[in-house]
Chain A
Amino acid sequence: MTWEDVVRVASGSGHVRHLYVHLPFCAHRCGYCDFVTAVGGAEAHGPYVEALLVELEREGDMLAEPLETVFLGGGTPTFTHGDAFARLLGALPPAREMTVEANPETITAPLAALLRDHGVTRVSLGAQSFQAHLLDVLERRARPDDVRRAVHHLRDVNFDNISLDLLYGVPGQEPSDLEADLAEALTLGPEHLSCYELEAKPGTRFTHAWGGELLRQAEAMEGYFEQVVERLTAAGYRWYETANFCRDVPGRDLRAQHNLGYWRGRDYLGLGVGAVSTVSSAGGVTRRRNRPSVARYIAALGGGADPPRTFETLDVATRRRERLMLGLRLDEPLALAELEGAIDTGALSWLAERGLVEREDARGEIRLTRRGRFLGSAVTTELLAA
């Protein structure tokens, strides 16, 4: 089945409830980053946004009204030239949750107001660390004060859903540095926290420079994940996904609703360079990936054609394996009925006996225990049917 078929079948059905929009521009590429980014070239911002809107136009029919979530990711979305950025925000369909990723140093009072005025409900700040020496290792431009200032600007215009990203496992990071970062972050009272272990991804400048050091400290790093979970849960946050925490406020679900869509195996449409979509239709599930070139993206859509893309067809078994892999990241139970054939039932009993998986047989559900979640990959690998 081709993408055209998918669009045709899905068009008008309006069933896709999650929209991702990729804004690749950054002031500077950080050494550890392997996302699709483009540095400089401010003259491309306007044409790129226009092209995005053409792509939205071409495929907008499959979107539900209203959308549940829109997520603007990057790159640094808030680095996008002001006029172009405002045009994009104004043209996007409304959604119950609309998140924008931002680097702290880009958040000014006017930008905070702009976001607020265009229906953005949630801002995810790439704080990474509050320690100047670690920010230097990461080649981040923001200083610790920039993070605090950004949060205050957002609070000033009444943003009540702010997320902070923290990175741990940075070369040279001591347990006391991590403790300080967590304490600083908690002081700012964010509704949501994402804490990632720094991955030395192959081919990045960072891996080249620090790979050896990361290997050396690998064992010490094991304790960091525990430290993060303990500190944040002790502060009242809910550890709802492997790397994500949110405040538990009665009457509000502060989990990242957009990402929750991914983890629950929902369909999503991705626009922009490098963006991925996964859309189901009567004929099956198709995943497509836009190629990363900004110039070719703009040229194709400007000429009335689809941007360069690659496609992957997901059969039912693959889909179930993904459900298992993603669903086990959450603290909520996963229904076995959706996973028939994907699970090795022998392994399930064995893992349950060892206290890594919890079975709720009456309801036909499973979830990982606390220890199981620390070993999520190993447990998932074990649980997958061969």
Chain B
Amino acid sequence: MDQSRIRNFSIIAHIDHGKSTLADRILQLTETVSERDMRDQLLDSMELERERGITIKAQAVRVDWKGYELNLIDTPGHVDFTYEVSRSLQACEGAVLVVDAAQGIEAQTLANAYLAIENELEIVPVVNKIDLPQADPEGAAAEVAELLGGRPEDVVRISAKTGENVGDVLDAIVARIPAPAGDPAAPVRALIFDSSYDQYRGVIAFVRVVDGRLEAGSAVRAMATGTQFDAEELGFMSPQRRPVPALTAGEVGYVVTGLKDVSRLRVGDTLTARVTPAASPLPGYKDVKPMVFAGLFPTDSDDYPGLRDALEKLKLNDAALFYEPETSQALGFGFRCGFLGLLHMEIVRERLEREFDLDLLVTAPNVAYRVERRGGEMVEVHNPAEMPRETERVEEPYVTASVIVPKDYVGAVMELCTERRGRFDHMEYLSEERVLLSYELPLGEIVLDFYDQLKSRTRGYASFDYDLAGFREGDLARVDVLVGGEQVDALSLILHRQFAYERGKQLVERLKEEIPRQMFDVPIQAAIGSRVIARETVKAKRKDVLAKCYGGDITRKRKLIEKQKKGKKRMKQVGGVEVPQEAFLAVLNLDGERKRT
């Protein structure tokens, strides 16, 4: 294809602003998919994605419009996948920015728009949902124009739901987004912007050919990881796989690699020919590292092999998922898993429970810490229970967080951010009503319940996004929890010293509520090193008997005791103390405690 007739673009939007619906309408309008085959949100192929209305894995579809080849590269819609989004955007020359006519700009809109601008993309602004009665297309268009420094009349007003003006979007893509500018004669360089796993064909890479020509059957090498394979098949999606003999500079398509391990082919890497390789890879490759960690334990220890198999299967399609075996005294055998962020964790957990029918106990999430031991050795710690007691210094990850709220809630958001050790960066009025607040926050303060708190303190009006901003030193302490005098590894926390007493106190109070009275007193302590900072006692039961038991009710009483025995099996034993599984989640709701009860 003549490069001048190719347009590569993404659609970027805040969650629920209509990205997937617009993609569906484009597929229909261009007759890529017949009415009959149309299924809502075709691009979001996983059940979970459809249900949550979010896109987890990006894909690319080729459509024809008035003699032009348009490649729609779908992007993941959430902060956890920022790197994947940025790679998808790098595969494009332009982006369609969708804003809900009733909601206006949200935090993710901003984050995505900034990413697009950083990637030097031409942005086609679109205001969607103009058919809604509460829509304010002019207000939303003004906000977008202000954000992008353009004119409100250049903002395309559409309804993806009814199809109104969707053709105008395609026309604007052709007119405004530049054609690809790669060198067709140079050695081939193709950017991997996504991959998936097919159980019959192995890893399938989605690529944008930047320079040269990628031939089916050719010997290929990934330049960063060094992985080599033969391109068994090339093609494009429409929306099914359509094989072609070659993909040329400017084109977007897929490569069947035959590789059996998705982690050998990383998003952001550059494919080149083994015979005449390119001199240097495309810029911007990053080895994404998980930042949020949690222990995953089967509720029933017999399910451990099932959990291991399930994680292996998920990993096939999710190179960012990290896991390694973990043994907890309290929870038995499980895995310490690393995630890109909270949503990623939530998605993995839901898939494990839903698709693999596992009943899981997930410990409170924590972040990755960089620790300098006494003596200078640096280690990365993914589990509070492994934090050395003696440290020279500890660094924790920080984020730059953007919160957009109606101006009445600015105080509430500032209060929350301050409680969470946030450092105010700046504030900006997006309109008379809406304010953008920018804070630097430790990621560790966000992973527990920041988002829930933000939502509840702003009555759901706040939108929130963040970007990793590197590691900083912090005055952090490891707080251990002892139940019945025995340390419960799964309850250890890393807290800022300033909050250690207060949180430690809240935690033991919560645990006191969660741990049922036993046959003896159970002390619950929070300690930093050997120093106890908070203590509560679950008083022993004084009485636990069945008052009557005679000939008539022996069966019933026996069944009652057998039932209690089964109930106990589900409790985790810590030094002879039965700790219900809920107790391990107590740490998740320290601040929410009073509202819950």
Contacts and interface: CB of A to CB of B under 8 A. Distances in A.
Contacts of A307: none
A347 to B, nearest CB: 9
A253 B446 CA distance: 70
Nearest to A259: B550
Given A274-B552, A356-B519, A321 B545 contact: no
A104 interface: no
A381 B565 CA distance: 6
A278 B551 contact: yes
**Chain B interface size range:** 20 to 34
Interface string A106-122: 00000000000000000
Interface in B545-588: 545-555, 557-558, 561-562, 564-565, 568-569, 576
A243 interface: yes
A159 interface: no
B558 A321 contact: yes
Contacts of A221: 543
Nearest to A351: B519
Contacts of B595: none
Interface in A261-290: 262-263, 268, 270, 274-276, 278, 287, 289
A276 B551 contact: yes
B66 interface: no
A230 interface: no
Given A196-B548, A278-B554, A325 B542 contact: no
B552 A275 contact: yes
A243 B543 CA distance: 12
Interface stretch (A5-13, A78-86, A294-302, A372-380): A372-380
B389 interface: no
Contacts of B546: 242, 376-377
Interface string A224-262: 011000000000000000110000000000000001001
A301 to B, nearest CB: 20
A223 B544 CA distance: 12
A146 interface: no
B519 A223 contact: no
Contacts of A140: none
Interface string A362-384: 00000000000111111111101
Given A276-B551, A350-B576, A381-B568, A322 B558 contact: yes
A262 B550 contact: yes
Nearest to B542: A222
Interface string B488-530: 0000000000000000000000000000001110000000000
A155 interface: no
A228 B549 CA distance: 18
Nearest to B518: A378
Interface string B177-201: 0000000000000000000000000
B543 A242 contact: no
A386 interface: yes
B547 A243 contact: yes
B455 interface: no
B558 A270 contact: no
B563 to A, nearest CB: 9
A382 B553 CA distance: 21
A321 B559 CA distance: 10
A386 B301 CA distance: 15
Contact of B561 (A222, A262, A384): A384
Contact of B551 (A270, A325, A381): A270
A386 B552 CA distance: 25
A243 B551 contact: no
A226 B540 CA distance: 14
Contacts of A380: 561
A378 B560 CA distance: 12
B181 to A, nearest CB: 70
B544 A325 contact: no
A226 B543 CA distance: 8
Interface centre among A226, A312, A350, A376 (most CB of B within 10 A): A376
A386 B565 contact: yes
A225 B545 contact: yes
Given A262-B551, A276-B552, A354-B520, A375 B543 contact: yes
B510 to A, nearest CB: 20
Nearest to A312: B555
A276 B297 CA distance: 45
A197 interface: yes
Given A223-B542, A374-B542, A384-B565, A325 B558 contact: yes
B543 A222 contact: yes
Contacts of A350: 576
Contacts of A268: 551
Nearest to B548: A196
B552 A381 contact: no
B547 A199 contact: yes
- Measured as residues with beta carbon below 8 angstroms from the partner, the interface class of chain A is 35 or more
A356 B520 CA distance: 10
Contacts of B547: 196-197, 199, 242-243
A287 B548 contact: no
B541 interface: yes
A243 B565 contact: no
A326 interface: yes
A329 interface: yes
A21 to B, nearest CB: 12
B552 A242 contact: no
A326 B544 CA distance: 15
B569 A386 contact: yes
A345 interface: no
A318 interface: yes
B554 A375 contact: no
B564 A270 contact: no
A68 to B, nearest CB: 14
A314 to B, nearest CB: 9
B552 A270 contact: yes
Contacts of A130: none
A206 interface: no
A263 B550 CA distance: 8
B539 to A, nearest CB: 10
Contact of B545 (A270, A278, A289, A374): A374
Contacts of A322: 554, 558
Nearest to A256: B550
A222 to B, nearest CB: 4
A25 interface: no
Interface string B380-402: 00000000000000000000000
Nearest to B540: A375
A48 interface: no
Contacts of A223: 542
A384 B569 CA distance: 12
Interface in B477-495: none
**Central interface residue in A197, A242, A262, A377, by most chain B CB within 10 Å:** A377
A384 B561 CA distance: 9
A376 B543 CA distance: 8
A289 B544 CA distance: 28
B570 to A, nearest CB: 11
A287 B555 CA distance: 9
A376 B544 contact: yes
B549 A329 contact: yes
Contact of A326 (B520, B549, B564, B576): B549
Given A262-B550, A382-B568, 9 more contacts: A270-B552, A276-B551, A287-B555, A321-B561, A321-B562, A325-B549, A326-B554, A377-B545, A382-B519
Q: Which 7 A-B pairs have the closest CB atoms?
A: A378-B544, A222-B542, A376-B545, A196-B547, A197-B547, A276-B552, A262-B551
Interface of A: 20, 196-197, 199, 221-223, 225-226, 242-243, 259, 262-263, 268, 270, 274-276, 278, 287, 289, 312, 318, 321-322, 325-326, 329, 350, 354, 356, 373-382, 384, 386
5 contacts: A270-B551, A270-B552, A322-B554, A377-B544, A377-B546
